[in-house]
């Protein structure tokens, strides 16, 4: 029989120049009544792009291809899918720094145009890993890193990071906000203040012990803090004492002295924390905390300030 009913249509994603597996059911070729089937692409990247299920070996092969030639994800318009599969692989490889570095470099290349902030985050992770594990890298990965470090514009603006973290906080995306604050700490950016931001998000996500450690570190660095940061550190210290039902009067007195300094007050996104701890504190203590929060933003009436700090 020299006539086949099956033909590749011009609208099909298949291309007559591509290679396909010989897996079309014969009946669909010979019988007009049978539903038309398309052959499976032999190219793993095409299988992935067209939604074919991949075996585990095929997934590993795909990851290796993406790591070595991330441009394939752009060519196939599968950027989000590529990032997802690389991030999953990154989680599996967390105990293997050399593999992590390869995956992170691919993620940098994937994001450097579409999401520069995310690319910078990955860049910092590679930078940290490289310093201790460069001897584990193969020559190709070393060269990729050198080219990336030399040609990429990955100077991080910590002020933009802080703004992004606040956006995450306002959206209640606490895990993402914490990641950004930790990134700022790695940059050694205004450590006392950044540690206060970190403590706030840790408290909102239920990490009280970790938050108290962050506040302790901020207090140890208070000599380098901006004027408005020290009252914030004291605010947290009062909160922790309230949680333990301990006397906080000395810290209230210290807060009063700090608020006499010029530039000691600044707007602060603290209301969600006040609300979250309302049920944990007595009404009297919660009101004291509210008054403190208003005082360090210079919002509360003079009579309240005087009653608290007299």
d(CA 246, CA 257): 21
CA distances from 146 to 68, 71, 218, 237, 277 (A): 15, 19, 36, 45, 49
Taking residues 13-21, what's their average pLDDT?
54
d(CA 131, CA 191): 22
Question: Which domains does the chain carry?
Answer: 44-151 (no CATH), 156-223 (1.25.40), 226-310 (no CATH)
pLDDT value at position 12? Answer: 46
d(CA 124, CA 165): 17
Assign 159 a pLDDT band (cuts: 50, 70, 90): confident
Find all residues with CB under 8 Å of 156, minimum gap 6, and list them: 120, 124, 183, 187
Closest CA to 186 of 229, 144, 129, 137: 129
1 pLDDT higher than 60: no
Assign 2 a pLDDT band (cuts: 50, 70, 90): very low
pLDDT value at position 8? Answer: 45
d(CA 199, CA 202): 5
Which residue has better confidence, 303 or 123?
123
pLDDT of 190-212, one tens digit each?
A: 999 999 999 999 999 999 999 99
Q: Residue 214 CB: number of other CB atoms within 10 A? A: 25
d(CA 303, CA 307): 6
161 pLDDT higher than 90: no
pLDDT value at position 283? Answer: 95
Assign 11 a pLDDT band (cuts: 50, 70, 90): very low
Report for 81-90, 207-216, 263-272: range of highest mean pLDDT: 207-216
30 pLDDT higher than 60: no
Taking residues 270-298, what's their average pLDDT?
93
Helices in the chain by DSSP H: which ranges? Answer: 26-30, 44-49, 56-68, 71-75, 79-92, 97-111, 116-133, 139-151, 158-170, 174-186, 191-204, 208-220, 229-243, 249-258, 271-276, 283-295, 302-309
d(CA 191, CA 219): 10
d(CA 310, CA 290): 17
Residue pair 291/308 in contact (Cβ under 8 Å)? The answer is yes
pLDDT of 112-156, one tens digit each?
A: 877 887 888 888 889 889 888 888 888 988 888 888 877 666 666
Both structure tokens of 254: 């210290």
Lowest mean pLDDT across 135-144, 233-242, 269-278, 294-303: 294-303
Closest CA to 145 of 157, 165, 127, 133: 127
Cα Rg for the chain, rounded, in angstroms?
28
pLDDT of 227-262, one tens digit each?
A: 999 999 999 999 999 999 999 999 999 998 898 888
End-to-end Cα separation, the chain, in angstroms:
103
Closest CA to 232 of 262, 202, 206, 193: 193
Q: What is the mean pLDDT of the chain?
A: 84
pLDDT value at position 130? Answer: 87
Give the pTM.
Answer: 0.57
d(CA 103, CA 5): 45
Taking residues 202-226, what's their average pLDDT?
96
Sign of CA dihedral 54, 57, 60, 64: negative
């Amino acid at each position: 029989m020299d006539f086949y009913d099956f033909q590749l249509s011009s609208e099909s994603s298949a291309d007559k120049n591509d290679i396909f597996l010989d897996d079309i059911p014969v009946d669909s070729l010979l019988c007009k009544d049978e539903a038309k089937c398309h052959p499976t692409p032999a190219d793993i990247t095409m299988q992935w792009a067209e939604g074919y299920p991949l075996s585990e070996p095929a997934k590993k092969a795909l990851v290796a291809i993406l790591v070595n030639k991330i441009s394939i994800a752009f060519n196939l318009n599968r950027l989000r899918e590529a990032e997802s599969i690389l991030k999953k692989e990154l989680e599996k490889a967390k105990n293997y720094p050399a593999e992590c570095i390869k995956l992170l470099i691919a993620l940098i290349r994937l994001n450097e145009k579409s999401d520069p902030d995310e690319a910078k985050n990955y860049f910092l992770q590679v930078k940290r890993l490289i310093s201790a594990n460069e001897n584990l890298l193969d020559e190709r990965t070393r060269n990729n890193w050198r080219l990336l470090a030399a040609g990429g514009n990955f100077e991080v603006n910590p002020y933009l990071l802080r703004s992004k973290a606040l956006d995450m906080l306002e959206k209640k995306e606490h895990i993402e906000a914490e990641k950004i604050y930790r990134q700022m700490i790695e940059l050694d950016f205004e450590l006392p203040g950044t540690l206060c931001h970190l403590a706030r998000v840790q408290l909102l996500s239920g990490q009280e012990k970790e938050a108290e450690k962050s506040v302790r570190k901020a207090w140890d660095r208070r000599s380098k803090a901006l004027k408005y940061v020290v009252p914030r550190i004291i605010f947290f210290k009062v909160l922790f004492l309230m949680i333990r039902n301990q006397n906080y009067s000395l810290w209230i007195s210290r807060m009063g002295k700090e608020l006499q300094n010029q530039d000691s007050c600044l707007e602060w996104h603290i209301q969600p924390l006040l609300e979250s701890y309302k049920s944990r504190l007595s009404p009297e203590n919660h009101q004291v905390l509210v008054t403190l929060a208003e005082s360090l933003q210079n919002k509360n009436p003079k009579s309240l300030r005087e009653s608290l700090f007299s």
